[in-house]
């Protein structure tokens, strides 16, 4: 195949059309990821940004690039049809993989366990959940913020260890440990002295004080707790009744 200006123009035009259509799909998926599956701060520290990059690479780079490489109007109609089917198959397959992976890794619950807050994904629960609606009873937040109470009783601790070892379900996803919102409030209040000591670190204290000033709050107005994500951390802020407010 001889590469001419006319061929280049044709390829660029086809690539531009493909890219424009892909951009529409990307914006739809980006909205779903950013606002529904991974609302902030979870987007940046719990996997949303990584999923977005995979989808962008497939949707905005891979598909249009293949179109540029193989599209040629000088081919027969049958060859062009087969080329378009090939491009669609590759892009859609890769896009489905990226979307499904991103969806499966989304946080379905934010769990306060011990002194930290972690995200739970659906697969963490094993066979415990009949539906994700089972988690809504603990919190009205999306995703729900739930307190997991670790008992001091040795027999119960042994049972938690057994479930983790035999069923592969970590403490933060063992639903027998989940408690009502009132216990979440008590847990946050009990841990405040420990959390406030951590806020004495200069870089964290500066962010905390900036948040307070920006939101016209005093330290006694809020409760804070550290969230540990797969790709970073943040501090979640609650009011004195344990209702989630914001993060820094």
Per-residue confidence (pLDDT) for residue 115, from 0 to 100:
85
Per-residue confidence (pLDDT) for residue 4, from 0 to 100:
80
Beta strand pairing call for 222-229 and 116-120: parallel
pLDDT in tens, the chain (248 residues): 566 888 888 889 999 999 999 999 999 999 999 999 999 999 999 999 999 999 999 899 999 999 998 988 888 889 989 989 999 999 999 999 999 999 999 999 999 998 899 999 999 999 999 899 999 999 989 999 999 999 888 999 999 999 999 999 999 999 999 999 989 999 999 999 999 999 998 889 999 999 999 999 999 999 999 999 999 999 999 999 999 999 99
Cα angle 52, 171, 238; round to 5: 65
Helices (H), 32-180: 42-45, 48-56, 63-70, 77-104, 154-167
Cα angle 74, 75, 80; round to 5: 125
Per-residue confidence (pLDDT) for residue 73, from 0 to 100:
83
User: Is 87 within 8 Å of 70 (Cβ atoms)?
Assistant: yes
**Pairwise CA distance, residues 128 & 175, whole Å:** 7
Q: Is 205 helix (H, G, I), strand (E, B) or coil?
A: helix
**Pairwise CA distance, residues 95 & 237, whole Å:** 35
Q: How remote is the C-alpha of 94 from its chain's centroid?
A: 19
Q: Can you read off the two tokens belonging to residue 65?
A: 């690039």
Per-residue confidence (pLDDT) for residue 175, from 0 to 100:
95
Per-residue confidence (pLDDT) for residue 55, from 0 to 100:
94
Q: Where do the domains of the chain lie?
A: 5-104, 109-247
Of residues 68, 63, 51, the one with CA closest to residue 92:
63
Per-residue confidence (pLDDT) for residue 1, from 0 to 100:
53
Helices (H), 105-175: 154-167
């Amino acid at each position: 195949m001889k590469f001419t200006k006319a061929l280049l123009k044709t390829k660029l035009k086809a690539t531009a059309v493909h890219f424009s259509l892909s951009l529409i799909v990307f914006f739809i998926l980006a909205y779903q990821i950013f606002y529904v599956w991974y609302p902030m701060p979870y987007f940046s520290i719990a996997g949303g940004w990584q999923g977005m990059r995979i989808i962008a690479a497939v949707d905005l780079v891979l598909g249009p690039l293949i179109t540029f490489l193989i599209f040629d109007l000088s081919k027969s109609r049958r060859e062009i049809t087969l080329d378009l089917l090939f491009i669609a198959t590759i892009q859609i397959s890769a896009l489905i993989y990226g979307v499904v992976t991103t969806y499966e890794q989304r946080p379905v619950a934010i769990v306060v366990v011990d002194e930290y807050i972690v995200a739970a994904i659906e697969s963490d629960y094993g066979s415990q959940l009949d539906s994700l609606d089972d988690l809504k009873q603990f919190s009205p937040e999306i995703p729900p913020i739930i307190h997991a109470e670790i008992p001091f009783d040795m027999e119960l601790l042994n049972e938690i260890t057994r479930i983790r070892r035999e069923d592969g379900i970590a403490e933060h996803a063992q639903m027998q440990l989940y408690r009502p919102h009132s216990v979440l409030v008590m847990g946050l209040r009990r841990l405040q002295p420990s959390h406030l000591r951590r806020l004495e670190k200069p870089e964290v204290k500066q962010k905390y004080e900036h948040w307070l000033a920006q939101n016209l709050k005093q330290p006694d107005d809020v409760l804070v707790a550290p969230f540990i994500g797969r790709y970073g951390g943040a501090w979640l802020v609650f009011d004195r009744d344990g209702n989630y407010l914001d993060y820094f």
